[in-house]
Structure 1
Amino acid sequence: MTRRNKIIYWVATIWLSLGMVSTGVVQLIKLKEEVDLFTHLGYPIYFLTILAVWKLLGVVAVLIPKFPLLKEWAYAGFFFSMSGAIFSHLAMNDAAKDLFGPSLLLLLTFVSWYFRPADRKTTTVNN
């Protein structure tokens, strides 16, 4: 892995982790604005706790060494969570500004996943 790719990976992964931790904490403590947002989107409030816990566990999985299969699941969870947020805002005809956060986190998820080092990837069998 080139130095450039390592830098891209770590910058994306750190920003992704900060974004997931900050939104996870906001959801876990059920900040009023987050409760209002989930109500607006039509989701039950208990969904905040579920998303928060999985986001926080996903960050741990992505940051700790080894466990490449667990990392794949964490990246998949981030992808589904952020793409779901984007489509939820689109379904409610929300303003474009409401798409920025989840779109940025979705992009960071992809960049972090794409540039992850070999020891953080699952192995494949070559024919």
Structure 2
Amino acid sequence: MKKRDKIIYWIATVWLSLGMLSTGIVQLIKMEEEVQSINALGYPTFLLPILGVWKILGVIAILIPKFPLVKEWAYAGFFFTMTGAMTSHIIVGDEMITLFGPTLLLALTITSWYFRPADRKTLK
């Protein structure tokens, strides 16, 4: 793996991890703004801690060595969660600014996945 690719991978992965960890914690503790946001999207509040726990577990899976299949599932979960968030905001007619967070996290997910080292891939 080229040094440039390693740098891109780690920058994207660290920012992705920070973003998912922080939003996961916010969802886990059911911060008032997050409760209002998920209710405005038409989803029940009980989904917040579920999403929060899975995001935190996904961050752990991506950061720890080995377990490439678990990493693939974590990346897939992040991809589905962020595209679902983007779609939900569009469907309810939210302002375009609400797409910034999920779009950024989606871009970081794709970048981290694409540039991951060979020992973090299921097929080498």
The yes-or-no answer on 1:65 pairing with 2:33 is: no
SS at 2:122 equivalent: coil
The equivalent of 1:7 in structure 2 is 7
The equivalent of 1:112 in structure 2 is 112
CA shift, 1:89, in A, is: 0.2
Q: Determine what percentage of the aligned residue pairs are the same residue.
A: 67
CA shift, 1:79, in A, is: 0.2
Count of equivalent residues:
124
- The RMSD of aligned alpha carbons is 0.6
CA distance in 2, matches of 1:123, 1:99: 33
The equivalent of 2:22 in structure 1 is 22
The equivalent of 1:123 in structure 2 is 123
Provide TM-score, normalisation by structure 2: 0.99
CA distance in 1, matches of 2:81, 2:123: 25
CA distance in 1, matches of 2:79, 2:58: 11
CA shift, 1:82, in A, is: 0.3
CA shift, 1:31, in A, is: 0.3
The equivalent of 2:46 in structure 1 is 46
Equivalent runs, 1:87-98 vs 2, <5 Å: 87-98=87-98
CA displacement 1:59-99 (0-9 Å, x = unmatched):
00000000000000000000000000000000011111000
CA shift, 1:46, in A, is: 0.6
CA displacement 1:30-58 (0-9 Å, x = unmatched):
00000000000000001001100000000
Q: Which segments of 5 or more consecutive residues in structure 1 lack a partner in the other structure?
A: none
Letter in 1 for 2:97: K
CA shift, 1:123, in A, is: 2.2
Letter in 1 for 2:62: V
Letter in 2 for 1:84: G
Q: Which segments of 5 or more consecutive residues in structure 2 lack a partner in the other structure?
A: none
CA distance in 2, matches of 1:54, 1:15: 17
The yes-or-no answer on 1:37 pairing with 2:42 is: no
Moved over 4 A (4+): none
Letter in 1 for 2:38: F
